[in-house]
Chain A
Amino acid sequence: MTPHSALLHDPVTGATRRIRVGWESAGDGALRLSGDGVDRAVPASALSLAAGGWRRDAIVLAWQEDGRTWAVTVDDARLGAELLAALPSRFAADAARLARQARRQRRGQRLALAVVALVVLLPLAAGVTLYLLRDRILDAVTRRLPLTLDARLGELARRQVAGSGQLIQEGPAVEAVRRIGARLVAQAPAQPFEFRFELLRDRAVNAFAAPGGLVVVHAGLLAEARSADELAGVLAHEVTHVLERHSLRQLLFELGLTTSARLLLGLPDGVADAVASAAVNLGALRFSRDQERAADRGGVELLARARLPATGLESFFERLARREGTIPAMVSTHPPSAERAAALRRLIEERGAWPVEPFPVDWEAVRQHASRA
């Protein structure tokens, strides 16, 4: 008789402890149990069989003896099956019922697992779907937003810039910016925005576009640019940002990412929040780099229509690339300048050559003006 591991309840001591016990048929339908603390042949009439254990996945064999109930609990599924097979034939129906119960319970467990998996995976799937469809969703939502929103946001930005008192009102540099801007805008396909081009007294080599048509160039950029072509390239890029409503899209994206992180991950506090906001930042930056590439592409098209050379934009980035530090591409809002210059060169090649009418301007006077400002 092979001893198996099982738990014996001894009604004399009231204790339930683990023992090694063997079982075999003892003839006359009795079951012989032998092990540590139990050694007897139990007549079939005294035996009862049931499912038990705290998860009801064990088999409990109980029998009466002197008015007290003994029980052996087999908590190993394989051993339980062996025990069922060793039982006298009188228990065939009980054994079948237990097997059915076990099957039903396994089904229940699979269901439970599926529910848990669903609860865990559903937000994940929703998140992935949202992320994969983000461009389409953002396009659709942006299209539905009224243009008055652009105008209102643009007005806010304009007041802030004007309020700084740092706008340069007149002079050759302002003239150049406004005239090149006007020439580009005139070539843009029918569009609803009212463009304004401004020059800001600021040393940084930068330019930005607000929703609704406000394009602001920093004086530092004019001082850095070597020709009117380079300025035209930058302006074409910024005008495209406005036309494609990039600021609005970016705003929507950040809003959406923050909201979904909160709803789907259900992260209310502490570390979780920091993780979510880091993801938002990285995601937002990456998104804005896609926008920069789109603006470069649109800018080249605009330059071609305005019969201005695109080589300016390219050479401007090449020069910036040589001066650029070592900020990793992942965490900078713009693609690395070298990469952008290369991409631009490809775009220009794809577009093919176009007739060019250079912009007539005394660039040296513009630079002088911008540098003095």
Chain B
Amino acid sequence: MRLLEYQAKTLFAEYGIPIPKGLTSTDIEQGRKDAAVLGFPFVIKAQMSVGGRGKAGAIQKCQNADEFELKYPEIMQKVVKGEKTKAILLEKMADIKKELYLSLFLNRGKRCYTIIASAEGGVEIESVKNQIIREIGLGDVDTKTAEEVAKSMGLKDKSITDFVNILQKLSKITTEKEAELAEINPLALLGDGSLVALDGKVIIDDNAMFRHDELRRFQEVSELEERAEKSGFSLVELDGNIAVVGNGAGLVMSSLDMLSDNGGKPACFLDVGGGATTDTVYEALTLISNMKKVKGILVNLYGGIVKTTTVATAFIKAYENKILDVPVFARMSGAEADKSKEMLKGSRTKLFDTVEEAINAAVIEVNRNG
């Protein structure tokens, strides 16, 4: 789960990491009240889970009430890299002397937590120069390590004390809230030598959410995603018109790749999990039927232990109950494939021996029907 900036900053504030004064709203009426409390000037920041907001005009300075009336609705309407604005943060501007970078992240290759810090922040991590990197095991940072990092960054006096404090608190967030990433970029060095978190990005380990009820308030899932999760499925919505369903994340990704290679446009990624039963496949078809853009469904199931007939039953049931009104192109390997073909004769589900054949048929038919 990726927290929005204001949510990450709520955590920062709870743990005592300094942030600028700010208020969050989702409509302009509340926004006006927030503006009155804060007083001009301030920054209007779109809250969305994507980088590059500044360049896209989703973060703008605001000097007075006239500007506010223009810019607030404009930023509320912004879409950056497909992400819509979910809320607006109004934030007081700081007297920035320098922008630094600081993050703690789960280092997959080294299998430990790692600090990255730099005296040259404010740009995307890939472009951050002179990175100071420290591996820190399970994520705890002692004072000595924190001081060493601060000194390597060239910080002095009060800035060192502030930095050590911030780094140790960021480490506490990482370990206690089970974050995969906790990033402050930029971490602003102010005129008086103090440090303030101007932005915040925190990604929580989804698999650890069962022991973090206190973070549920930040969780925002679409109705479809919620239904998918309840059924034990993984669903990612995409832009195209052919839904892609299969058992196993790798197999579904692989089907997505082959469909795209052949000129098809995936409407979603839907992994029903390792097994496949009549019920799971039926539930998957029901979920997809809620997606208006879907013009065809590609199903790729590796049977193995599962009999294909149990899956064929689900297709027949879905048409009988009028859940489905689009064609299905299915590849099912496994036992009783011939019997399944017999069962599905005359239905709108076509069975294929290889996924390549199923994809070809799907692309041709869906493109023909527009």
Partners in one complex: no
User: Contact residues of A with B, CB < 8 Å?
Assistant: none
User: Contact residues of B with A, CB < 8 Å?
Assistant: none
